[in-house]
Structure 1
Amino acid sequence: MTAPMPSDPRSTVPVLHSTKRTTVLRPPTATREGVGEFEYTDRYSVFHYGPMPDAIPGKGEAACRMAVFNFALLEEAGVRTHFRRQSTPNRIEFSLARLPETLDHPPTPQSGNYLLPLQVLFRNELPPGSSVHRRLASGDLSPADLGLDAVPAVGERLPQPTIEYATTREPVNRFLTRADAQRLSGLDDRLFRVLRESTIAVNGVLSDHAAGVGLNHCDGKTEFLVTGNQELLLADSPGTPDESRLMFDGVHCGKQILRDWYVRSGNEVPVGRLIADGVPRRQWPQPASLPPAFVPAMTNLYQALCERWTGEHHWNAPSLEAATRAVRALTEE
């Protein structure tokens, strides 16, 4: 579980599963948001393990530039966000809220600003790799939960987007019922309704933009903070490859490619089982490194995706068509 925000104004805050480094520039208080800085690193994370062994050069800057673009897009659409400014090619400053000290007694908006220990997940379609297929097969989810009459096919587009809730500050995040999500968030009925409506709006803006540049925005998630004025601000980095599942011509444009290689090669790290068995993290096996050819191919993919998404050109990146063809060839070997 993540610790409360430290008082050192330049301290770095560890975040489970995240490949962004968070630095506190000005600590938050109960009545005033602080200022934080995200450094988007070149690391990636799969299986809830945390940062994996390999770096993907250029990934961090590509994700940062996409995040900055998305914040502007969403603000223009009327979605308020925590974004303040881009400070370097791979860093942004943002409004920083406090982390609840315990999940046993959630705060309320009246107690001052805080980051909701909750993520809201939306799904537009169910491509290969979606956890929905596994959950349907195990009985943890039913077609009715998705508004369907039968088990959907892989790749099926849903008749309308679905909304789910999950924790964010546990070793392996759990799906939550709507009632449990509202209790954990500490929000009253009005603000919890705003949370849902804002997520639907975010999905709509990002999905429309994706379609306009030839991509499928299959699913994603949002996180929010509550301000000292009891208003919601969109947090984290929606619409980036680490937060959304983007596909181009049937090819994943993100870490699903790497997750699939680990599973296919028999190198998956069984984090859930390790946690259930009480194995200390220091005793977890070190993940295998990627085959060498994957790293430059993924660099090209992230940079090509960023340039297609933003319309800006910062690298000598291949086209997204060429980058996805190269990745497809690797995964079919």
Structure 2
Amino acid sequence: MPVLHSTKRTTVLRPPTATREGVGEFEYTDHYSVFHYGPMPDAIPGKGEAACRMAVFNFELLEAAGVHTHFLRQSAPNRIEFTLARLPETLDHPPTPRSGNYLLPLQVLFRNELPPGSSVHRRLACGELSPADLGLDAAPAVGERLPQPTIEYATTREPVNRFLTPADAQRLSGLDDRLFRALRQTTTAVNTVLSEHAAAVGIDHCDGKTEFLVTNDQELLLADSPGTPDESRLMFDGVHCGKQILRDWYVASGNEVPVGRLIADGVPRHQWPLPTSLPPAFVPVMTDLYRALCERWTGERHWIAPSLEAATRAVRALAEE
């Protein structure tokens, strides 16, 4: 959807109008984004197709479970067509369901456990979040599984997403009480379906997010690409299966791009420093990881990819070098 740091390219096939949803196409590219920077210098061959195939599998899984989505069809190995809604013209005056056919400028985040890299640890440490907000008596340990999933809300159409209170999230989305309850209930259902599938194939579904559009019939459709490694934190045998591996390298090597500080200081984007490229050894390892993850998740074989066990061992070896 319209995220400034998205690595999906969107093509409008039929523009939405005030009275009719349109049709769009996502191209899942081989790029990745960390630190809200936008596409980073290196491409990961095969990442886009792997993410696309996982998205298609998940849409079909969710539709079978009764979750209505914006997915229409897979149009190429790394492309899908989807129901396209209008973007709210301004965030200062949110639309209402009666205006229909709009994309919520909001994401709903769910968390099942708190592995290394979860923003919750940082927010607890600096006081932005309290254990009580998570339904806990004390700060959780790294890797701790929560007694029950938590749900939070955040913006999407800003350079760096902000967490929101439920009241602010409802105001920003323009939803009435019925639809705002449905937003939370549908997110819970999505988490349940994806987490049960993940467990069935031996993968931990640690956290993820959902996005939605409101149709002309004033109903919600699940949007974006839930359950893919760009939208969910997936782990196998204690190893991240996604861009957290790359984020960790940038931080550990001192090459993190301070996007938050650059924005706060008012530095124009064209003056931001160019990120350092990954060490060459990372790219083939990440290609194998994305392909192995996709094949484990979907049960389909599209590449001569290693097993997920072998792919994550290679990731561990990178981290030890």
> Which TM-score band (shorter chain)?
over 0.9
Q: Is the 8 A contact 1:14 1:21 kept in 2?
A: no
Identify the residue that residue 120 of structure 2 maps to in structure 1: 132
Q: Does 1:276 align with 2:237?
A: no
Corresponding residue number in structure 2 for 1:238 = 226
CA contact (8 A) 1:126 1:218 kept: yes
C-alpha distance in 2 between matches for 1:50 and 1:300: 23
Aligned-partner Cα distance in 2 for 1:251–1:237: 22
Residues 124-273 of structure 1 mapped to structure 2, 5 A cutoff: 124-273=112-261
Q: C-alpha displacement at 1:240, in angstroms?
A: 0.1
Gaps of 5+ in 2: none
Matches within 5 A, 1:66-105: 66-105=54-93
The separation in 1 between residues aligned to 2:18 and 2:249, in whole angstroms, is 45
What secondary structure does 2:58 align onto?
A: helix
Provide the aligned C-alpha RMSD in A: 0.7
- Counterpart position of 2:41: 53
Query: What do the CA deviations read for 1:142-161 (whole angstroms, capped 9, x no partner)?
Result: 00000000010000000000
Which of 299, 304, 309 is 1:321 aligned to?
309
Indicate the SS of the match to 1:187. coil
The answer on whether the counterparts of 1:109 and 1:187 sit within 8 Å (CA) in structure 2 is yes
Read off the aligned partner of 1:217 and give its amino acid letter. H
Alpha-carbon offset, residue 14 of structure 1: 6.5
3-state SS in 1 of match to 2:306? coil
- SS at 1:110's partner residue? helix
- C-alpha contact (below 8 Å) 1:220/1:245 kept by paired residues: yes
1:231-280: CA deviation from partner (whole Å, max 9, x where unpaired):
00000000000000000000000000000000000000000000000000
| Equivalent residue number for residue 40 of structure 1 | 28
Letter in 2 for 1:153: A
Q: Provide TM-score, normalisation by structure 1.
A: 0.96
The counterpart of 2:296, out of the listed 290, 308, 312, is 308
Paired with 1:164 and 1:56, the residues of 2 have a C-alpha distance of 30
Q: CA deviation at 1:300?
A: 0.0
User: 1:30, CA displacement in angstroms?
Assistant: 1.4
* Structure 1 segment 9-20 matched on structure 2, within 5 A: 15-20=3-8
Give, in angstroms, the shift of residue 15 of structure 1: 3.9
Structure 2 distance, partners of 1:123, 1:235, is: 19
> How far apart, in 2, do the equivalents of 1:35 and 1:104 lie?
27
Scaled by the length of structure 2, the TM-score of the pair is 0.99
> Are 1:294 and 2:279 matched, yes or no?
no
Give the letter aligned to residue 141 of structure 1: L
Aligned to 2:103: 115
Provide the C-alpha distance between the structure 1 equivalents of 2:303 and 2:32, rounded to a whole number of angstroms.
20
Counterparts of 2:3 and 2:250, CA distance in 1: 23
Cα shift at 1:97: 0.2
**Counterpart of 1:37 in 2: which secondary structure?**
strand
Equivalent pairs: percent with the same residue?
A: 89
How far the C-alpha of 1:112 sits from its partner, in A, is: 2.0
> 1:237, 1:284 → 2: CA distance?
29
Could you tell me how far 1:331 is from its partner in structure 2? 1.0
Contact 1:25 1:36 in 2 (8 A): yes
Contact 1:86–1:92 (8 Å) recurs in 2: yes
Answer yes or no: is the 8 Å Cα contact 1:17–1:51 preserved in 2: yes
Q: 1:27-81 CA distances to partner (integer Å, 9 max, x unpaired)?
A: 0011111000000000000000000000000000000000000000000000000
Mapped partners of 2:73, 2:110: distance in 1: 27
Number of aligned residue pairs: 321
CA distance in structure 1 between the partners assigned to 2:241 and 2:2 by the alignment: 26
Q: CA deviation digits over 1:84-142, x for unaligned, max 9?
A: 00000000000000000100000001012100000000000000000000000000000
